[in-house]
A and B are shown apart, each in its own frame.
Chain A
Amino acid sequence: MTVTDRERDRDREAAEDALVSVRGLEKYYESNQGLVDRLLGNVRRVKAVDGVSFDIPAGQTMGLVGESGCGKTTLGETLLKLHDATAGEIYYDGRPITDLSDGQFRPMREQMQMIFQDPHSNLDSRMVIGDIITEPMNVLDVGDRADREARAKELLDQVGLDRSYYDRYPHEFSGGQRQRVGIARALSVDPDFVVCDEPVSALDVSVQAQILELLDDLQDEYGLTYLFISHDLSVVRYICDRLAVMYLGKIVEIGESEDVFENPQHPYTRALLSAVPDPDPAVDRDRIFLEGAPPSPENPPEGCRFQTRCPEKIGPVCEEAPPEFYDIEDGHHSACYLHDEAVDESRSEADDE
């Protein structure tokens, strides 16, 4: 069953209720943008994000998982308008923001912030911790000098760092500590929505847990809404309410986190989940191995993007058109022809012959 009109209405309502809502978002990159290359038609297009829709209700955490290069970071950065969307619409608190100019969007940056991935590049090594944390307040002109300093020191406390670090340089700190500074910076302007782009993937496992816990605590305290980007499913399960699985610029499965984990529908999701080590050794799962590397987003396969590596590929139908979302259960959708009754019937007929 595909999306009906009634559901489209419901969809619109959901978009209005959600804090962040994305409809048909596309972000294409072009290489070789020089004049000469344009003349010669040497421009290559990379479809980093290719028609993505989802809602994040206020106060919730939405997980976004996928292999590196699937476009999840680009998606997160496009939400914060670090890139201009090629097509589609982003709503923040019901307000469309896609076409806002930098200047128009600027005041909204107080509400939307980002936590980055690499503790070695997320802080400018030439600035002291205090200047780093107060930077958003300085740029957005929040409070006066004394306020900013007080706020920064308070945040240092909250993220578990000593107030005396205010005047120190980033190189004096460990990866986990730098990540905490990055979190303090994002929170300094008191945002409602935070994009966490693989915030723990560069850290030791022991440190990962501490940072995740911190993010969780801060969410409770400030009522934050997160988009949590990760390639690591075990990390995502811990922190997310909803989960979207992304492959080559498209979302292939989306639903409540527990539903997706307990009842994965898309073959890609199943393959990803099978690779996560289960804490319970008694559970014996068959590991699904995917063949080859993901195809280049410059030249994605026809039809379903996953068909070139899919262990459950049905046949020509997968190569014709990209599958739509099929409802699995309430709020749980998967984009795969396996769920199409018509395809299923024709297949069983073929089997009977």
Chain B
Amino acid sequence: MGLARYVLRRLLLLVPVVIGATLLIFLMLHLAPGDPARLILGQRRASEETIRNIRQIFHLNEPLWKQYLLWLWDALHGDLGRSFTFRRPVTEMIVERYPITLQLALSGWLISMAVGIPAGIVSAVKQYTKVDYVTTIVALSGVSMPVFWQGIMLILLFSYFLGWFPSSGFAVDGTVFDRLHHLTLPAIALGTSITALTVRLTRSAMLDVLNQDYIRTARSKGVSEREIITGHALQNAFLPILTVLGMQLGLLLAGSVLTETVFGIGGLGRLLIRAVHKFDYPTVQGLTLVIVTVMVFMNLLVDVLYTFINPKIRYD
């Protein structure tokens, strides 16, 4: 199977998932108890005429399957409907807020890589030593800590007691320094929550490679340990580390929701929570659609990248 064929296969495999997921998101409104038109209007009181208008705009008079296709068609053209709670088009709100979430997630991920990969390598090289045990325990504690609690503890220590970083907000229009200043604590909180996964995967990938015959051969030939680790092991351990990216993306997005809530950052996550609390269906549907699309295609990208680097697994 060539790479192009493999990508085609993966894309085709995605079709049922994408149909299923979009159908699920579409059906949210119809599974919820009550008249969809009134649900869309949220807590606002409305006249019969407004309701009629809503039915018209949201194609609610059409058969369900046609509604789905129209909804999907509109979404593909960037029209995710209108929020009556926030009195704005959903797409506009998402476009406005996504850079904030993106910056948060990206910096969280970078922190996790910067801490997790070296920790995993050290842990693997010094397997069954105190360093290894301590790393494992710290990583396990990290994954067991709720990200929102960690955020609160960071605020308590670094904002309230030490006063080093601001406790909330996000300097959207500020200088780079301003933004970093605001981003530091949330990014640390978010990053820590996924670091354990990075450490674990790096460690096991390194151990796998270090136990390979060619590494033993290199050792017996007197190649220095440093050279073995940087020259051979690290390169080959990179592949499995890549796979974790897909898993971490979901955790990062979910973590962003909590982190944004703790630090009062106006990103996509906070918008989602506010919309859920107000039962603002168009906003919730639009946000979920965007998140799932990002998830699905990032996972595809990771898979393709993985096979591109390592053609062997195409034949699995």
Smallest Cβ-Cβ distance to B10: which chain A residue:
A36
- In the assembled complex, the Cα of A40 lies from the Cα of B8 at a distance in Å of 9
- In the assembled complex, the Cα of A36 lies from the Cα of B12 at a distance in Å of 6
Interface residues on A, range: under 10
Determine the chain A residues whose CB is within 8 A of the CB of B12 once the complex forms.
36, 39-40
In this assembly, does B313 line the interface, its C-beta being within 8 Å of a C-beta of chain A? no
Determine the chain A residues whose CB is within 8 A of the CB of B13 once the complex forms.
34, 36
Smallest Cβ-Cβ distance to B5: which chain A residue:
A40
Tally chain B residues at the interface, Cβ within 8 Å: 6
Determine the chain A residues whose CB is within 8 A of the CB of B31 once the complex forms.
none
In this assembly, does A37 line the interface, its C-beta being within 8 Å of a C-beta of chain B? yes
Smallest distance from the beta carbon of A296 to chain B beta carbons, Å? Answer: 13
Give the interface SS of chain B, mostly helix, strand, loop or mixed. helix
Smallest distance from the beta carbon of B10 to chain A beta carbons, Å? Answer: 9
In this assembly, does A42 line the interface, its C-beta being within 8 Å of a C-beta of chain B? yes
Determine the chain B residues whose CB is within 8 A of the CB of A40 once the complex forms.
5, 8-9, 12
Within 8 A of A (CB), among B1-34: 1, 5, 8-9, 12-13
A-B residue pair count with CB separations less than 8 angstroms: 12
Give the interface SS of chain A, mostly helix, strand, loop or mixed. helix
Determine the chain A residues whose CB is within 8 A of the CB of B1 once the complex forms.
42
Determine the chain B residues whose CB is within 8 A of the CB of A39 once the complex forms.
12
Determine the chain B residues whose CB is within 8 A of the CB of A34 once the complex forms.
13
Within 8 A of B (CB), among A49-83: none
- In the assembled complex, the Cα of A34 lies from the Cα of B5 at a distance in Å of 15
Smallest Cβ-Cβ distance to A40: which chain B residue:
B9
- In the assembled complex, the Cα of A332 lies from the Cα of B8 at a distance in Å of 53
Q: What does the 1/0 interface line of A34-47 toward B look like (CB < 8 Å)?
A: 10110110100000
Smallest distance from the beta carbon of A32 to chain B beta carbons, Å? Answer: 9
Determine the chain A residues whose CB is within 8 A of the CB of B9 once the complex forms.
36-37, 40, 42
- In the assembled complex, the Cα of A34 lies from the Cα of B9 at a distance in Å of 11
- In the assembled complex, the Cα of A39 lies from the Cα of B16 at a distance in Å of 14
Most central of A36, A37, A39, A40 by chain B CB within 10 Å: A36
- In the assembled complex, the Cα of A34 lies from the Cα of B12 at a distance in Å of 11
- In the assembled complex, the Cα of A68 lies from the Cα of B5 at a distance in Å of 33
Determine the chain A residues whose CB is within 8 A of the CB of B5 once the complex forms.
40
- In the assembled complex, the Cα of A39 lies from the Cα of B1 at a distance in Å of 14
Smallest Cβ-Cβ distance to A39: which chain B residue:
B12
Q: Which 3 interchain pairs have the tightest Cβ spacing? A: A36-B12, A36-B13, A40-B9
Known A40-B5, A40-B8, A40-B12; further 7 A-B contacts with Cβ < 8 A = A36-B9, A36-B12, A36-B13, A37-B9, A39-B12, A42-B1, A42-B9
Residues in A lying within 8 Å of B, measured CB to CB:
34, 36-37, 39-40, 42
